[in-house]
């Protein structure tokens, strides 16, 4: 009967026929230290999975593209902030589905929320120039204020209503007859309010730096020199102006409401002159190159390009459906940044007439997540370049131009199969052990050769 010992590939020598060396001891200690480390690292790599990225021709067949954005215009009021979508050449405004919310904010990065902004429906603009009803006596003029007397006079008044205007402004000229008849009517009704004009081109420091007037005309109510919020946004007709003033005076109760009280529909203390607008939401556009623009716009105001400041903060900008936190966790860290490269990034306008443009290239990215890439999620990675330019004589704006890459990335994350893991593990351990054994053999033979050479010389 054949014995099993005859098949033994691992024949042994008795211990008394072997002996140790110092070099062998050192190499053995290295094996005992390094092999467990290699086992740990290989196991960790197996458990965390591998990342593989392949570049392919874009197979994305989606017709529509979702744009998710959150931008704060630090010096543009919400009543003038608008988001429009244009074709790639910027020549045609597109009528698209959008869901946008505005909030009045303040602070260096727009971090302090004040309240949400809601658009006030108004009648057609053409009617506003025909809204003067009270006859104006010959030679009557509304009193004008200047930089020198503005603060002093308003502090002495219980209530003041100021028209900030400019001579070149079409809507300001349309308002003047209405404003005069309103001033006469307010005096006849003995309303406790004084009506004034401020010509902003003659008082740039007052209008631009102190009052932050963004559009003309701006009608602003004051209580003992303190501005009330929001500015008048209704129909510029004599009767509407009178009702507005009466409502503010009645609601004041000998003093305007503070922000600690429940907000009122008409006016509240304007605590921050520098109020910006946070505009956030979703746009649904065709999946073709295009632009969306955040700009100053109003159907019944004119804007001074020189005084329109487009300093802004991009808090968030992504394309496609929002990925869940669980999905984001499985995506490599470097890829996460490319999904949303703008994160609370500030873009300042240090000079007048400054417009900003963000050019965005979109790369369709298919994330194969889960074990062995069992689930696939479509996302978009962004590469962006930013620049600013002098837009004179146009009113400055903030433009986001986006284009699609013809290629797509396929990112696969999944664990190796168990037998691949064991094969690699044994190869690493065995290879390292063999290298140490060969090294020990070389040391031993070199030592023996040196001893032999020394014996011959002696």
Q: What is the pLDDT along the chain (458 residues), one digit of tens a residue?
A: 467 777 666 677 777 777 777 777 888 888 888 888 888 888 877 776 667 788 899 898 888 999 999 999 998 989 889 999 998 887 788 888 889 999 988 887 878 888 888 876 665 555 555 556 778 888 889 999 999 999 999 999 999 999 999 999 989 998 999 999 999 999 999 999 999 999 999 999 999 888 888 899 999 999 999 988 788 988 888 888 999 999 988 887 544 444 344 334 344 444 445 678 999 999 999 999 999 999 998 888 889 888 899 999 999 999 998 888 888 887 777 778 888 899 889 999 988 889 999 999 999 999 887 655 457 788 899 999 999 999 988 999 999 999 999 999 988 876 667 777 788 888 888 888 888 888 878 887 887 787 777 766 65
CB atoms within 10 A of CB 285: 19
The pair of three-digit structure tokens given for residue 61, joined into one six-digit string: 């067949």
Angle at 382 between CA 65 and CA 340, to 5 degrees: 90
Query: Considering only CA atoms, which of 177, 180, 175, 186 is closest in space to residue 242?
Result: 186
Angle at 293 between CA 287 and CA 294, to 5 degrees: 135
The helix or strand, by DSSP H or E, that contains position 264, with its residue range, turns out to be: none
The pair of three-digit structure tokens given for residue 249, joined into one six-digit string: 């005076």
Q: Domain 115-269, what fold?
A: Glutaredoxin (3.40.30)
Q: Where are the domains of the chain?
A: 22-49+416-433, 54-107+274-414, 115-269
Q: How many whole angstroms separate alpha carbon 281 and alpha carbon 99?
A: 5
Report helix, strand or coil for 384: strand
Report helix, strand or coil for 172: helix
Q: What are phi and psi of 207, to 5 degrees?
A: -75, -45
Q: Does the predicted model carry a pTM greater than 0.95?
A: no
The answer to whether the beta carbons of residues 361 and 403 sit under 8 Å apart is yes
Q: How many whole angstroms separate alpha carbon 37 and alpha carbon 151?
A: 75
Cβ burial of 204 (10 Å; 0-12, 13-18, 19+) is middle
Q: What proportions of the chain, in percent to the nearest 5, are helix, strand and coil?
A: 35, 35, 35
Q: What is the pLDDT of residue 271?
A: 46
How many alpha carbons lie under 13 Å from residue 85 in its C-beta half-sphere? 20
For tokens 């109510």, name the residue: 221
Residues in the chain: 458
Q: How many whole angstroms separate alpha carbon 314 and alpha carbon 72?
A: 7
Q: How many whole angstroms separate alpha carbon 401 and alpha carbon 164?
A: 35
Q: What is the pLDDT of residue 198?
A: 96
Query: Considering only CA atoms, which of 247, 193, 196 is closest in space to residue 218?
Result: 196
Q: How many whole angstroms separate alpha carbon 127 and alpha carbon 391?
A: 33
Q: What is the pLDDT of residue 260?
A: 41
Query: Considering only CA atoms, which of 174, 179, 285 is closest in space to residue 232?
Result: 179
Beta-strand pair 290-296/397-414? antiparallel
Question: How far from chain centre, in Å, is Cα 232?
Answer: 30
Q: What is the pLDDT of residue 263?
A: 38
Q: What is the pLDDT of residue 267?
A: 43
The answer to whether the beta carbons of residues 383 and 77 sit under 8 Å apart is no
* 182: DSSP letter: H
Query: Considering only CA atoms, which of 104, 90, 116 is closest in space to residue 293?
Result: 90
Q: What is the pLDDT of residue 92?
A: 80
Q: How many whole angstroms separate alpha carbon 197 and alpha carbon 207?
A: 12
Q: How many whole angstroms separate alpha carbon 303 and alpha carbon 216?
A: 6
Q: What is the pLDDT of residue 49?
A: 66
């Amino acid at each position: 009967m054949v014995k099993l010992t005859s098949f033994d590939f691992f024949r042994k020598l008795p211990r008394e026929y072997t002996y140790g060396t110092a070099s062998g001891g050192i190499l053995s200690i290295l094996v005992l230290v390094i092999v467990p480390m290699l086992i740990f690292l290989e196991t960790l790599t197996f458990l965390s999975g591998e990342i593989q990225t392949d570049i392919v021709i874009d197979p994305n067949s989606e017709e529509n593209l979702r744009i998710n954005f959150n931008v704060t215009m630090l010096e543009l009021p919400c009543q003038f902030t608008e988001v429009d979508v244009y074709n790639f050449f910027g020549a045609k405004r597109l009528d698209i589905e959008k869901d946008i919310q505005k909030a009045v904010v303040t602070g260096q990065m727009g971090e302090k929320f004040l309240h949400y902004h809601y658009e006030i429906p108004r009648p057609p603009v053409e009617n506003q120039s025909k809204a003067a009803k009270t006859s104006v006596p010959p030679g009557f003029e509304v009193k004008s204020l200047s930089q020198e007397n503005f603060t002093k006079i308003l502090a002495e008044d219980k209530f003041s209503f100021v028209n900030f205007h400019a001579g070149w402004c079409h809507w300001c000229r349309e308002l003047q007859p209405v404003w005069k008849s309103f001033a006469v009517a307010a005096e006849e009704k003995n309303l406790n309010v004084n009506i004034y004009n401020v010509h902003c081109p003659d008082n740039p420091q007052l209008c631009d730096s102190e009052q932050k007037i963004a559009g003309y005309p701006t009608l602003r109510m004051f209580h003992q020199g303190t501005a009330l919020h929001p500015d008048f946004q209704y129909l510029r007709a004599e009767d509407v102006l009178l009702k507005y003033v009466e409502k503010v005076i009645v609601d004041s109760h000998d003093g305007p409401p503070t922000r600690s009280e429940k907000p009122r529909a008409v006016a509240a203390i304007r605590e921050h002159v520098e109020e910006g607008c946070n505009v956030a939401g979703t746009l649904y556009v065709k999946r073709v190159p295009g632009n969306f623009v955040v700009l100053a716009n109003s159907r019944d105001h004119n804007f001074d390009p020189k005084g329109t400041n487009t300093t802004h903060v991009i808090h968030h900008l992504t394309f496609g459906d929002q990925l869940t936190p669980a999905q984001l966790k499985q995506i490599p860290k470097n890829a996460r940044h490319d999904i949303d490269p703008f994160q609370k990034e500030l873009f300042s306008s240090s000079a007048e007439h400054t417009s900003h443009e963000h050019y965005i290239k979109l790369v369709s990215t298919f994330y194969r997540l889960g074990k062995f890439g069992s689930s696939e999620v479509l996302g978009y990675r962004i590469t962006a370049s930013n620049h600013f330019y002098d837009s004179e004589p146009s009113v400055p704006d903030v433009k986001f131009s986006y284009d699609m890459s013809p290629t797509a990335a396929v990112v696969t994350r999944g664990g190796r199969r168990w037998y691949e893991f064991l094969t690699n593990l044994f190869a690493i351990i065995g290879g390292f052990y063999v290298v140490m054994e060969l090294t020990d053999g070389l040391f031993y033979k070199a030592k023996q050769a040196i001893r032999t050479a020394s014996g011959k010389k002696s």
